[in-house]
Amino acid sequence: MFLKKISIINYKNFASKTFEFDAKINCFVGDNGVGKTNVLDAIYYLSNTKGYFNSVASQNIRHGEDFFVIDGEYLKDDRIENINCSLKKGLKKVIKRNGKEYEKLSEHIGFLPLVIISPSDSNLIVEGSDLRRKFMDSIISLNDKDYLQSLLKYNKVISQRNSLLKYFAANHTFDSVNIEIYNEQLIKYGTELYNKRKDFINEFKIIFKSRYEHIINNSKNENYSEKVSLLYKTQLDRNDFNNLLKENLERDRILQFSSVGVHKDDLIFKINGYPIKKIGSQGQQKSFLIALKLAQFDFIKKHTKLTPILLLDDIFDKLDEKRVAQLIDLVNEANFGQLFISDTHADRTEKLIKITKQTYKMFVLE
């Protein structure tokens, strides 16, 4: 599977632009602010029905315009697949595959798997649990439509339950029957998510550790004792979901939102037994994040039987040249497919790419 061509109209800083790609490596180079990352974001949009850097669709429309269109042509399983994403202000987003509109955007998720590595990934370490849950959910959902549907239903029920709690507080009333209806749905969908997340982490952490050890060349240094771990933190490990909801009902009524459940789950990142956010060096955090994303790539490929497209956004911005070279060397392995890179310096990018002996295209943006 690879992206042959993309056409962009009124997306971010692009009025109208078309790119035809190499099946292996494609590099976007130019000064900051010319739109390199925006091209990668448009490619991400075709796979995930939303932007990576700004999920508010209307904010991706070019200034002064009232719509955007992204059109991609792929070769997948020896046939051409055309994906069209469009949005007009005041209307709903439209995603079409070969001219036919999806009834639900979720139907498209997983059809064109993609992994992005970006400087903004550092937020996975430094920000709150919401981003780490989304990271976990996005990987599982690519291959498990039932999981995605349970997640969407669970989030809807949480929103409805929160609205009910606010209504109770505003009107000085309470209805235990209504609360129990929502609790039953939360328990049903939440338990499904909990079990699948546990299974996912048990498999994913092994892949992740292998990637991390490869990145730091652990096997080449017998005295190197750096150990990383990935833990799934959930309230359901300590208590039955039904009991949690009952025990925290009064608290929820005071807070006016649902304070317990799998929407509070987290991933804990550790190095040598301590949180990497607190004790990890900048280099260790970089290696940790790259290992996470490459493990994401490996997991998706294994379970979807498709080789994801890989986007490397401004990799020199946060990584030293040695790490970039090591990363490029990793993706030169036979199990990797199409690669997109953005950088500010054409010469250093092309120098590294030539080492791979792969076919490539350079796109200079001005």
Residues 225, 193 contacting (CB under 8 angstroms): no
Mean pLDDT of 279-292: 89
* Mean pLDDT to the nearest integer, 125-150: 95
CA angle 229, 233, 238 (to 5 degrees): 130
Where does the chain hold its CATH 1.20.1050.90 domain(s)? Answer: 126-305
The CA-based angle 38-3-140, given to 5 degrees, is 80
**Any alpha helices (H) in the chain, and if so which ranges?**
36-48, 123-126, 129-143, 145-171, 176-215, 241-247, 249-255, 276-279, 282-304, 315-318, 321-331, 346-355
Q: Are 265 and 197 in contact (CB under 8 A)?
A: yes
Q: Is residue 205 pLDDT above 70, yes or no?
A: yes
Assigned superfamily of 126-305 = RecF/RecN/SMC, N-terminal domain (1.20.1050.90)
**Listed residue (306, 347, 276, 285) closest to 75, CA to CA:** 306
- At 35-50, the pLDDT tens digits run 999 999 999 999 999 9
89: exposed, middle or buried (Cβ count in 10 Å: 0-12, 13-18, 19+): exposed
Q: What percent of the chain has pLDDT over 90?
A: 79
Q: So what's the pLDDT on residue 345?
A: 87
- pLDDT in the model for residue 218: 44
Rounded to the nearest 10 degrees, the angle between the axes of helix 145-171 and helix 176-215 is 140
Tens digit of each residue's pLDDT (9 = 90 or more) over 96-137: 999 999 999 999 999 999 999 998 899 999 999 999 999 999
- The whole-number average pLDDT for the span 74-82 is 96
Could you read off the pLDDT of 297-337 as tens digits, one per residue? Answer: 999 999 999 999 999 998 776 666 666 777 777 677 767 88
Cβ count within 10 A of residue 223: 4
* Confidence check: pLDDT of 293 > 80: yes
pLDDT value for 45: 97
Share of residues in the chain with pLDDT > 70 (%): 94
- pLDDT of 227-256, one tens digit each? 999 999 999 998 999 999 999 999 999 999
Whether 316 and 344 have beta carbons less than 8 Å apart is answered as: yes
Tokens read off for 262: 């799998």
Residue 221, pLDDT score:
46
Structure tokens at 359: 């076919």
323 or 2, higher pLDDT: 2
Q: What is the mean pLDDT of residues 266-275?
A: 95
Q: What fold is seen in the domain 1-113+307-366? A: Rossmann fold (3.40.50)
What is the pTM for the complete model shown? 0.91
The rounded mean pLDDT for the chain is: 92
